[in-house]
Amino acid sequence: MNSATRVVKNTGILYARMAITIFISLYTTRLILNGLGVNDFGIFNLVAGAISMLTFLNTAMASATQRFMSYAEGAGDFLKTKSIFNVSIILHIIIGFFVLLVLEIAGYFLFNGVLNIPEARMGVAKLIFQFMIVSTLFSIVSVPYDAVINAHENMLLFALLGILEAVCKLFIAIYICYTEFDRLVSYGLLIAVLSVVLLLIRRIYCKNKYPECELNLKKYFDRAVFKEMTGFAGWSFLGSSSSMISNYGQGIVLNIFFGPIVNAAQGVAGQVSGQLSVFAGTMLKALNPLIDKSEGAGNRKLMLKVSIMGGKVSFFLLMLFFVPVLIEMPYIFKFWLKNVPQYVVIFCRLLLIRNLIEQLFVTLASSISAEGNIRRYQIFASILCFFPLVISYGLFKFGFPPYALYIVFIVYSIMASALILYFSNKNLGLSISHFVGNVLLRCISSFFMVLAIASVPLFFMQDGILRLLIVLILSSVSFIVCVWFIGFSNLERENLRAIIKGIFQKLINKSKFLKKD
């Protein structure tokens, strides 16, 4: 199976998962918001929201380990993957206990004068924080198994686990609405238990399925691999943890000045953004192993080609769903939630714009990681991560509204994207002028044109289901036309035609074969 077909197949599997889970997840959020109430929902997103923050760290560290495994596979050194797996187990045990220590120390200060939580719920918040810490330790130690799944591009397993997780969370939400116990404690405990169970399933599957998951430190420990991975993992961890602290710090800064009710709006905005971003993130999960394997095989040209095209296509996938949501967000929230938290609409709009900016450059960041020379990039990126928190804190001191934080983070995303572009040019030889002309200008032009066309009904129609349907039709039609003729170059259109033709030909051949049987 060639690389393009493999990417399309893996993306298709993940999209099937997404089609099942996205509506379940959004409905689950509605149930949880109603079951917990705005105040407790805000407390959960502030304290146990660190679980999702550490999921981000888990994903970033898995990508770092997967980079070594895919690189070795691309180079044809399959024996080295066993050494990489065993070394990564040691590294993640060390990282796990380091994070555990940091969280316990941070928790002491957070719950003694930093967080703005009602005294009556302080004990519950501390208990949820401990649930999160236990979940975190399991998450980090299980990272090497996630990396193996990524390296083998086993998207079917990811799809099945994603569906299982969504269904379990739905049952938890239903339970929360009817339980007589403290609903916040019950929810925090069950979510932590679910994350541990899912990680154990991954671990058991990998040990039985993949031969490189043989844990034998005496036999497979390689000092040279340990030294190489420690350096890479150290710099990768610096960047990931800085970004993690910056993302979690948003909730703390908002909580200090505005309390847990604003954290509830932040939590809902994050849920919507996360579910819509799955459409583009799905493609990236399928692309990243190909980027790493191309670099491992010494094919830098293919790696850059995949990275540039992947960034562009993932941006368009986000745009397809973001445009109608950006336009009709007030009506969607009014229809979706019984109680719409204050600021949630503007939070979500600004967050979606930030996601669109970052999406253009996310595959380039993967390529920098695949090349391996990440020390200077991670240092600059880590320093830049703290810029928005400091600025936002200062703005809130002068009385700025809560949404100022999201505007500052948009500015930060532009700066971080410029940093990625600089190091892509320096480390990988990427042509900045080519990227600006072929990616940035084409993507931005397509976005504003589709946004303008789809916004026309707002000038002569009242909000409602009919206007929403017309906006969806206009955005979808204009999206197809603008992206095809403005977003893609002539060469890219020819390549896409060839891929589509090849997929249809395989489907036709398969259909003929089944008929013969």
Residue 21 has pLDDT above 80, yes or no: no
Q: What Cα–Cα distance (Å) separates residue 42 from each residue in 142, 333, 379, 389?
A: 29, 17, 33, 19
Average pLDDT over residues 83-108: 81
Find where tokens 């997929």 sit. 503
Average pLDDT over residues 294-312: 83
pLDDT tier at 510, thresholds 50, 70, 90? low
Q: What digits encode the pLDDT tens for the residues 191-216?
A: 888 878 887 888 888 888 888 777 77
pLDDT tier at 432, thresholds 50, 70, 90? very high
pLDDT tier at 499, thresholds 50, 70, 90? low
Rounded Cα distance, 211 and 81, in Å: 10
Rounded Cα distance, 439 and 449, in Å: 15
- Residue pair 54/129 in contact by the 8 Å Cβ criterion: no
Residue 86 has pLDDT above 70, yes or no: yes
Instruction: Please choose, from the candidates 11, 53, 14, the residue with its C-alpha nearest in 3D space to the C-alpha of residue 163.
Output: 14
Average pLDDT over residues 73-84: 72
Residue 507 has pLDDT above 60, yes or no: no
- Specify the long-range contacts of residues 179-184, CB closer than 8 Å, at least 24 apart: 182/124, 183/35, 183/36, 183/40, 184/36, 184/40, 184/43, 184/44, 184/121, 184/124, 184/128
pTM passes above 0.85: no
- Residue pair 109/126 in contact by the 8 Å Cβ criterion: no
Output the pLDDT for position 117. Answer: 78
Output the pLDDT for position 395. Answer: 94
Output the pLDDT for position 13. Answer: 66
Output the pLDDT for position 63. Answer: 63
In terms of pLDDT, which residue wins out, 10 or 306? Answer: 306
Most confident stretch, 97-101, 104-108, 135-139, 427-431: 427-431
Output the pLDDT for position 279. Answer: 59
Output the pLDDT for position 52. Answer: 56
Q: What digits encode the pLDDT tens for the residues 255-297?
A: 888 887 787 888 778 777 766 666 556 666 667 777 877 777 7
pLDDT tier at 411, thresholds 50, 70, 90? very high
Find where tokens 């930060």 sit. 412
Instruction: Please choose, from the candidates 486, 443, 159, the residue with its C-alpha nearest in 3D space to the C-alpha of residue 311.
Output: 443
Alpha helices in 142-222 (DSSP H): 143-151, 155-178, 183-209, 217-220
Residue 470 has pLDDT above 80, yes or no: yes
Output the pLDDT for position 80. Answer: 76
DSSP 347-380: HHHHHHHHHHHHHTTHHHHHHHHHH---HHHHHH
Output the pLDDT for position 96. Answer: 79
Output the pLDDT for position 106. Answer: 78
When the pLDDT of each residue in the chain is averaged and rounded to a whole number, the result is 81
Token reading at 40: 């407790």
Output the pLDDT for position 515. Answer: 56
Report which residue type is found at 257.
Answer: F
Output the pLDDT for position 267. Answer: 78
Q: What digits encode the pLDDT tens for the residues 41-67?
A: 777 777 665 555 555 556 556 666 767
